[in-house]
Structure formats: C-alpha cells, structure tokens
Amino acid sequence: MICLTLSGSTLSDDLRAVKENREYIDMCELRLDFLTEDEQKRASIFPSLVDLPVILTFRRLQDGGCLNISEKSRRAILVSALDGDFKYVDIEEDVKRSEVEDKAREKGVRIIRSLHDFEKVPEDIYSKLYHLSEKGDIAKVAVTPRSFQDVFTLFRVEEELKGVDKIVIGMGEYGVATRILYKKLGSMLTFASSNEVAPGQISAKELKLEYRADHVNDRTAIYGIIGNPVLHSASPRMHNRGFKAINFNAIYVPFLVDSVRSFFMFAEYMKIRGFSVTVPFKVDVLSYLGNVTREVKQIGSCNTVVRVPGMWKGINTDYYGFIKPIMADIDSGRIKTALVIGAGGASHAIVWALRNYGVKVTILNRTLSRAETIARINLCDYDSIENASRYEGSVDLIVQTTSVGLYPEVDQNPIEAFHFSGNEIVYDIIYKPKMTKLLSEAEKAGCKLHYGSEMLLEQGKLQFEAFTGYHYPHWVDSGLE
C-alpha cells in the first residue's frame, strides 16, 4: 500500500491533499502534531470524511514531530481522536501500556509499534523489530542508513523476520531505494508525502505512476542506477516508462552507493538483472565484471552492467549515446577539433569516440595526471583547465564532461574565463539543468548547442535494449526533454 502522510495545519488542508492524491494512494496517515490545537480537537471526524483507511499518529518531538507538548497532553489528544473510526494508531516503542493502547484495543484499532532513529541503523535492528512485533500488531522501524551496507541490512529484514507484519523504512538519501522497493523488504506499506515530511520521502504520484512500486511482486525484475550523487538522475523515469509501455514486469531504481563492493554483494542477493553506472564508479566496476565488450576494453570505462549466465557483463553505451547527436557535423567536416573538459569516467568514452572519427582532441583537467592517462591511450593532447583561454577561437567543438554546473550548483561554469567566438559547437553532458551556465554563455555568443538529455536518451535506449532485449518504444515520452 502507498500511504500519504498528511501534514496540513487544518483538517481541510489534509482533505485537500487526500483529494489531490486519491488516485495514487491506498491509505493515509493523519499527523496530529501538524494540526493547530483547535483542529486536534476535531480530529476524530477525519476518518468519516475520507474513503480510505487512516493511521492516527501524534509524533513526539524527538521522533520527528513538530510540536513540543507534554506527554500527558499528547496522550489525551490521541485518546480523544480515537473516538473516530481510525484503522491504525502509531505508538512509540518505549511508551508503556496506556489509555491510548487500551482504547485502541477496545475499538479494534490495529496498533503500530514504532522506532525512529535519525542517526543510524541500530546494530540489533532485527531483534528490535521482533520485540516491537510482540508489543503491537505491526512493527515499524524508520532508521537512517549511513552507507550502502546499512541499506543492504534493511533489505535482509524479510529473510530474518518472515511472517511478521512490519513497516521498514530507510530515511534520507541512502534510504530512497527502501521506500520504492518496500515490498522487497516485506513492508506492508510505504509512506509518501507532498512536502517530504520525513527525510527521503517521495510523492505518491511518483511512486504510483513512475515506479509502479505497488505492483512489484516476486517475478518483478529489478534494474537500477548506481552513483554518488544519483537521486537527480532522470534514468528511472525513462526506463520505467519504457517497461510500462511494453508491459515488462520490471522496475528501475536509483541506488546511492558509497562502495561498489557492497553493491555487487547486494545485487547478487537481490538477483538484480542489470544496472546503469554513473559517476564516480564507471572505472571502479571493471574489476567485478567477468565479461566486457570491445568498447569497454578500449575505453576503459563501463556505464552498463547486465547479468549473463555465471557472471556480470560490462557494456559502454556512452560512446554511441554521445556521438549520435553530432555525427552529421563530423561527417560534414564541421567538427575537426575538440576541447574536452574533464577526465572522469564519461570523458574516457567521449574522447575515444571523437578520436575514432578522426577528431583532434585536447583534454583539459585540473589533475593533469588523469588527463594524461586518457590522452596517452587515445593519442591526443592534454592541458590544465586553468589554461582554457589559450584555446579560444581555435576549436570546433567544446564538450563539458564534469559535474560542474549540475543541479543544485547551477551557477558554476568549469571554464569561467573562456570567451566563445560564436563558431563553436558546445555540448554539455549535464542534463539537469538542461541549460547549464556554460551553455547559457555559449548561446549568448551564438554557438550551436547540444544538451545532456540528447546523450542520455540515446545511450539510455541502448541500455534498455541490453536490459530487456527490446527496442525502446518510440511512442513513449521518455521524460528527458
């Protein structure tokens, strides 16, 4: 079930939120700590105003609530609200049996016993869940993973506690995958909100329409993207829309990762079918692959990993994705020289692609040794990014491959002092925002532009084919433009 957390200051606000999200949700949680004092007194009528089950919650300040109130007053408000037809009530794990629990039992309201930890994932998380299940009908933990290994721990909950009614949530950026793949954790529901009431919450519309999280079952194939950062990625939107269009039972999820090793262990455990790789792991994944394509061998970078019998196979679709939008200009001779900004994973593929078509390339990077490594492999020049102005008016193509200018730091330009002549073709592989500061300055000078969304779409189509065996459906709006 997808449960909408309601955080309005009035019941009218909350009713409006339910109405706006009704087609995406199965239940809702009324948060009394967000309501005004007068509205708290009227809370018992709320379940009769909506056509779906309601969880009653009054979160304490230390558990993420927003109201400083005595425990006695809090319980009194909960007891009063329980006059209404609530289906569930949330009671914190350390609260001893009280009039709230007694009234809930009397009325047949199911009790959720909850534990919140905004600092970490407790080492004894499985034990804590089991003890919570003994105190209530449903055990709930909302904890904060600080590494991908912590995320892996949460995904093993179902194996450790099969048959226990539970809600398992990883908060924060690392925990986003747990909110989307909640069924794989054995969780009875996932919480959604319109304004991120808890860290990492996703909108109900996105969970329902983009991820189809509530349709995940034992036969659902799991795909994803790993990176750090990764939550800005538009790839989930593209792939999930493609899966839906061809009626392919699969889901594509963003995984914030700090350790490639931890992710590969997780991927084996979860039987993940394939995943995209973005910064900074395009080189790091190579040592875990049993088979790689010719492009990966020659480029030394991998952006796509698929499961094949007995091993993982590495593919590089960045090469084709990058080159396709500018092929006409290469074929016509319009592009003969290029300046590539950056020497990260993506630049490996981009430099190789350009050199493959006879373009003379100079790589600019802050760390010269990294630029030199790529330059030596591809027989091209390199220089410090501080010397970018030396190349003004002398190159046909400028390609920006770094994360400088990526949302939310949209006011940055990796070659701030560079002056465009207006004759350059400028290609920034960042796609969020579409118009980076670099591209904006290039446009003012009259340059021809290429956007990161173009490369993302073309390389994504090839990834989709590698994942599913089908071409990306041409009639689908990929959501990348």
Tell me: the pLDDT tens digits for 10-40?
999 999 999 999 999 999 999 999 999 999 9
Q: Which of 355, 356, 365, 420 is nearest to 387 (CA)?
A: 365
Sign of CA dihedral 171, 177, 183, 185: negative
SS3 444: helix
Mean pLDDT of 118-142: 94
Question: Residues, the chain, total?
Answer: 481
pLDDT at 200: 80
**280 upstream amide cis, omega within 30 of 0:** yes
Which residues face 312 on adjacent strands? 307
> 208: which DSSP letter?
I
pLDDT tens-digit series, residues 145-191:
999 999 999 999 999 999 899 999 999 999 999 999 999 999 999 99
pLDDT at 432: 84
Scored b (16 or more CB within 10 A) or e, 459-480 reads bbbbbbebbbeeebeeeeebeb
Mean pLDDT of 93-99: 91
Which residues face 434 on adjacent strands? none
pLDDT at 481: 65
Cα–Cα–Cα angle for 472, 474, 478, rounded to 5 degrees: 75
Mean pLDDT of 132-141: 94
SS3 241: helix
Is 123 in contact with 113 (CB distance < 8 Å)?
Answer: no
Fold of the domain built from segment(s) 2-216: TIM Barrel (3.20.20)
pLDDT at 408: 79
Edge to edge, the sheet with strand 190-192 lists: 166-170, 138-143, 110-117, 88-92, 54-57, 27-31, 2-6, 190-192
Which residues face 117 on adjacent strands? 143
**Cα gap 364→362, rounded to integer Å:** 7
pLDDT at 395: 97
pLDDT at 405: 86
**Domain 227-316+458-468: which CATH number of 3.40.50.1980, 3.40.50.10860, 2.40.50.140, 3.40.50.300:** 3.40.50.10860
**Cα gap 25→385, rounded to integer Å:** 50
**Cα gap 227→81, rounded to integer Å:** 45
**Cα gap 226→232, rounded to integer Å:** 12
Please state, rounded to an integer, the average pLDDT across all residues of the chain: 95
pLDDT tens-digit series, residues 209-219:
999 999 999 99
Contacts of 46 (CB under 8 A, 6+ apart): 11, 14, 15, 30, 54, 84
Mean pLDDT of 352-364: 97
Where are the chain's structural domains?
Answer: 2-216, 227-316+458-468, 320-450
Is 227 in contact with 257 (CB distance < 8 Å)?
Answer: yes
pLDDT tens-digit series, residues 412-470:
999 999 999 999 999 999 988 899 999 999 999 999 999 999 999 999 999 999 999 99
pLDDT at 239: 97
SS3 9: coil
Is 223 in contact with 250 (CB distance < 8 Å)?
Answer: yes
Which residues face 190 on adjacent strands? 2
Whether the pLDDT of residue 336 is over 90: the answer is yes
**Cα gap 307→314, rounded to integer Å:** 9
**Domain 320-450: which CATH number of 3.90.76.10, 3.40.50.720, 3.90.1150.200, 3.40.50.300:** 3.40.50.720
E runs forming strands in 40-137: 54-57, 88-92, 110-117
The maximal CA–CA distance of the chain, rounded, in angstroms, is 81
Reading phi first (left if > 0) and then psi (alpha if -120 to 50, else beta), residue 344 is in beta
Alpha helices in 324-448 (DSSP H): 327-331, 345-356, 368-378, 437-444
Q: Write out the two tokens for 54.
A: 């309601």
Residues labelled as active-site residues: 116, 140, 282, 318
Whether the pLDDT of residue 228 is over 90: the answer is yes
Contacts of 125 (CB under 8 A, 6+ apart): 141, 143, 153, 154, 157
0.85 surpassed by pTM: yes
pLDDT at 198: 73
Alpha helices in 5-67 (DSSP H): 11-21, 37-41, 46-49
Scan for tokens 């200009």, then name that residue: 329
**408 upstream amide cis, omega within 30 of 0:** yes
SS3 200: coil
**Cα gap 295→161, rounded to integer Å:** 44
pLDDT at 117: 95
